[in-house]
Amino acid sequence: MCATVVALAASLTAVGGAGADPAPAGKELVVLGDSFSANEWDHFTGHDDCNLHGRTAWPVQLAKLMGVYGTDNVSDPSCPGASIDSGPGWTLGQEAQRADKEGAFGPDTKLVTLQFGMNDKWGSSDQNLWNSLKPCVFNLELGCDEDSVGQGRMTDYNGVSGALMAKRMSNAVTYIKYYAPNARIVLVGYQELFAPGSSTICLSIGGVVPFINPRGRAVVEYLDRIDQAQREAAQLLGIDFFDTRALTAGHGLCSSQPWLNGVADPRTGIDGLPFHPSAQGDTVVANAVYDRYGH
């Protein structure tokens, strides 16, 4: 194990390594993730240096419950657009490197959360989910059925697997395990956006006008496979999986009581990021993570 970590520290710029300084004690809470963790975006410039975090984002609420919010005992470089390793935004490795430079990993580190996978490229496709929104998700004329993958309009969900996800995450997880040996490392799943196995995808506009694409099977299948891959990857990596989807079941975007934001929807949050957790949705997740891991 020691030789492996030394090699990783020396060769992987993605997960920066040990230096000559004394080893840090570590921070109690470390949050690595994408926009489902950060839940904030600079709407005016689109610039993101991974310093923006929504005031009700679940890691922010979790930090408050743990009593470390606003202190030097938390590191949160979670970032919108982040992926495991696909880019072009921040990657898991780059976030881990930033946290490492902040002294995040050490014997006193209590909890490390990871929330990744939705923004990555899979299989034969060079598309990620974000790039698939206009040509597939919002395309009422052609729909977003299974054939959209072969047409290049939807990311290739056929390439999603737990084994591949674990492989792509393994260097970072190995590093964190070594330098934060007492931490619980938790792969946090995504909230239920659409009912598993369904074909309809929805988005509320202003809380009044619903956008409904009845031919959205490819999107739902992608999210179903990401959820399954996260479960399998966590087991293969020897870390915990937190089942956010089960916790938020029945409160997806097509439900009467969504826990995710539409567009300017007063039911969830006028200024909330579309497709992302509402304040209520984040509160449910924060409380559940705290109950299981934060005490």
DSSP-assigned letters across all residues of 265-292:
BTTTBTTSPTTSB-HHHHHHHHHHHIII
- Residue 47: pLDDT band with limits 50, 70, 90: low
Q: Which of 36-45, 190-199, 202-211 has the lowest mean pLDDT?
A: 36-45
Query: Cα 221–226–231 angle (5° rounding)?
Result: 130
- Tell me the C-alpha distance between 33 and 89, whole Å: 12
Give the DSSP H or E segment for 236: helix 217-237
- Tell me the C-alpha distance between 114 and 43, whole Å: 25
Q: Which of 21-25, 35-39, 74-78, 143-147 has the lowest mean pLDDT?
A: 21-25
Give the DSSP H or E segment for 74: strand 74-75
Tokens of 112: 């490390």
- Residue 48: pLDDT band with limits 50, 70, 90: low
Contacts with 72 (C-beta within 8 Å, 6 or more apart), sequence order:
27
Contacts with 9 (C-beta within 8 Å, 6 or more apart), sequence order:
15, 16, 17, 18, 175
Give the DSSP H or E segment for 187: strand 184-188
Instruction: Tell me which residue has tokens 């020691």.
Output: 2
Q: What is the rounded average pLDDT of the residues 232-244? A: 98
- Residue 44: pLDDT band with limits 50, 70, 90: low
Q: What is the rounded average pLDDT of the residues 188-196? A: 97
- Tell me the C-alpha distance between 263 and 272, whole Å: 8
Q: What is the rounded average pLDDT of the residues 180-195? A: 98
> Which one is predicted more confidently, 207 or 294?
294
- Tell me the C-alpha distance between 282 and 280, whole Å: 5
Q: What mean pLDDT value characterizes the chain?
A: 91
pLDDT the model gives residue 22: 79
Does residue 146 have a pLDDT over 60?
A: yes
Q: What is the rounded average pLDDT of the residues 25-40? A: 97
95 contacts 82 by C-beta, under 8 angstroms: yes
Query: Cα 207–205–41 angle (5° rounding)?
Result: 110
pLDDT the model gives residue 11: 42
Tokens of 54: 């929504």
